Structure 1
Amino acid sequence: MSFSLPNFDLDRFVRDTLAEDLGGGVPGGGRDLTSESVIPADAMFAGVMDSRDPITVAGLPIADAFFRALDPDVQVERLVAEGDELGAGAHIMRLSGNARALLTAERSALNTVQHLSGIATLTRKYVQAMGRTDCVLLDTRKTLPGLRALEKYAVRMGGGQNHRMGLWDAAMIKDNHVLVAGSVNEAVGRAVTAGVAQIICEVDRLDQIEPAIRAGATRLLLDNMDAGTLQQAVALVGGRVQTEASGGITLETIGAKAATGVDYISVGRLTQSAPAADIGLDFTPL
């Protein structure tokens, strides 16, 4: 099955990741020393990838690509779909092929699935903690360099949506921008004059709301406000622009904040510090 994401080159990612592990370009590198010295070249393995804890799965197409890169004839059977919620002990993927190739690709494949499934699992927990509201959970730009497309993909697999993909697709005016511009309305006004279509303006006080809207902001990021203050902010906005709560959102507080009527809640922790999912891969010789 093909897998593609905007601004993400899967073949290059697989090639570079394997080269890093194998020591490509390093004197004496470019090889799996252990497998070459211990495993016969024609040995065959079968393996099963499974969950050790309840998870939401993400990243199987990338794992598939790692194995196929080293053994084009590998047999891979994905037993679940991306975004599926799994219990502990669920079988995720079966594969069989050249033992050296499978062992060499194993860590890169597992690292990717564990990391992306960890993000998807945490995202699903936040979505569920929001309760029955129309509020949408968003990620942020707090991603690992080089992994943004994959990490934001994992957020979608967990039921969240993506905020800005980068600095290019919307303006986000924060406190430091306001500091240089001199005021919220001046900063927003400059973005309007520059012809920016989407202008998100951070406000951390209620008295900043009206100047930001009048200046032309299309969304207000209500920063570090408790649920009571958020409710007041939403009332002051009155549906004129979109609202987004952000800053210090936890699983314990997100439900109350989602119930205030904000349109979005953004959580940096989804990609910044989600724990890796506990996923294993056990092989048997054929």
Structure 2
Amino acid sequence: MTLLERRQIQRVVDMALDEDAPFGDLTSQTLVPVTAVARADLVAREPGVLAGADVFEIAMTTLDPSVEVTRHAADGDAFERGAVLAHVEGPARAVLQAERVALNLVQRMTGIATLTRAYVEAVAGTGARVVDTRKTTPGLRALERHAVRCGGGHNHRYSLSDAVMAKDNHLAVIPDLTAALRQAKADLPHTTHIEVEVDRLDQLDAVLAAEAAGTIMLDNFSLDDLRAGVARIGGQALVEASGGITLDTIGDVAATGVDVISVGALTHSVRALDLGLDITVS
């Protein structure tokens, strides 16, 4: 499902815990007995699709490894309101200090997975692939992209280092696009993917003439122009649709015959899902 590794999670968790309590949790250290034990359930306040089970557990156990987390759901599982997704038990001070960081991360990731699942279901049966973009929260890209996969979506290039992707601002400073693409294909390893974004149908000829692009992105095209673009490309490259895609429009976009639909909203403006940690202390 993912290439997300523990070291990536741990780096984010350590940073977040340090940000939240740079000199310790003054409230818990002052008011909560050192011997107190907390028992807590991670409870869904609304239905959704889980993402971030590993992240939640690592956040809850980093401060004190004696804290135990029992999972009742796995990443990618759908759940209803009231579902208990995990149980936590351990020293109360550690549980209380980690609570907000653990919730912030799992709520955001689960919100992304839930929204992604809705987009994926909206294109079911069309063959179109729903993918994310680089419009992620700085520092959280690995977690957010994992969440997209938990929802059934796919990932675009991970970073600027992964593929050649000529966008509108690149094209604005390239005097001869066909020649530039041919040269790129000649210079790059055969394993390097080349994608070119166009925002008008009349730009397609220059891209196709180079015979270099593995993917052509049709950005902010009307449905009629998407259909025309798919026909003009004619299988010479994968066709990606992008720009202002919503749940209301993605089904119609998929029906034009595009191969990939990229949706920035999966990560850049998603709402965190409402999950709560119900704690009792003894």
> Is the TM value for this pair above 0.5?
yes
Distance 1:154 1:168 in 2: 22
Equivalent in the alignment of 2:208: 213
Post-superposition offset of 1:6? 5.4
Residues 150-171 of structure 1, C-alpha deviations (whole Å, 9 max, x = no match): 1111100010000000001111
SS in 2 for 1:40: coil
Q: Which of 115, 126, 131 does residue 124 from structure 2 map onto?
A: 131
2:73 maps to which of 80, 104, 108: 80
Contact 2:166 2:197 in 1 (8 A): yes
- Give the superposition deviation at 1:8: 5.0
**Gaps (5+ residues) in structure 1?**
24-29
Q: Does the 8 A contact of 1:55 with 1:117 survive in 2?
A: yes
CA distance in 2, matches of 1:212, 1:4: 32
Amino acid at match of 2:107: Q
Distance in 2 (CA, whole Å) between partners of 1:250 and 1:186 is: 36
Pair 1:53 & 2:52 matched: no
TM-score by length of 1: 0.93
| Contact 1:173 1:187 survives alignment (8 Å) | no
Task: Select 1:268's aligned residue among 264, 268, 277.
Answer: 264
**Equivalents in 2 of 1:7, 1:61: separation in Å?**
8
Pair 1:66 & 2:59 matched: yes
Alignment of 1:151-230 (within 5 A): 151-195=144-188, 197-215=192-210, 216-230=212-226
Deviations, residues 191-237 of structure 1 (Å, cap 9, x unaligned): 22432631100111112212202212111000101222111111111
Give the Cα–Cα distance (whole angstroms) in 2 for the partners of residues 266 and 4 of structure 1: 20
Name the structure 2 match of 1:250.
Answer: 246
- Using the TM superposition, give the Cα deviation of residue 131 of structure 1 relative to its aligned residue in structure 2, in angstroms: 3.0
Mind listing any 5+ residue stretches in structure 2 that lack a counterpart?
none
Residues 165-193 of structure 1, C-alpha deviation per residue, up to 9 Å, x if partnerless?
A: 00011111011111111243244234224
Match of 1:112 in 2: 105
C-alpha offsets along residues 111-167 of structure 1, whole Å, 9 cap, x if unaligned? 000010111111111111113111100100001111111111110001000000000
Q: Which residue of 1 aligns with 2:16?
A: 17
Whole-angstrom CA distance in 2 between matches of 1:37 and 1:46: 20
Comparing 103-112 and 224-233, the one that deviates more: 224-233
Cα distance between partner residues in 1 of 2:53 and 2:5: 18
Equivalences, count: 278
Bigger shift: 98-107 or 126-135? Answer: 126-135
Q: Secondary structure at the match of 1:144?
A: coil
The residue type paired with residue 89 of structure 1 is G
Residue matched to 1:27: none
Maintained 8 Å contact 2:214/2:238: yes
Shift in Å at residue 7 of structure 1? 9.6
**CA–CA separation in structure 2 for the residues paired with 1:186 and 1:149:** 35
Q: TM-score, length-normalised on structure 2?
A: 0.94
**SS where residue 146 of structure 1 aligns?**
coil
2:172 match: secondary structure: helix
CA RMSD, Structure 1 to Structure 2 (Å): 1.6
Q: Name the aligned partner's letter for residue 56 of structure 1.
A: V
Q: Which residue of 2 aligns with 1:278?
A: 274
Question: In 2, are the aligned partners of 1:184 and 1:208 still within 8 Å (CA)?
Answer: no
> How far apart in 2 are the matches of 1:191 and 1:226?
30
Give 1:4 shift.
6.7
Letter of the structure 2 residue corresponding to residue 203 of structure 1: V
Distance 1:8 1:201 in 2: 33
Contact 2:12 2:140 in 1 (8 A): no
Deviations 1:27-65 (A, max 9, x none): xxx210000111000001100011111111111111111
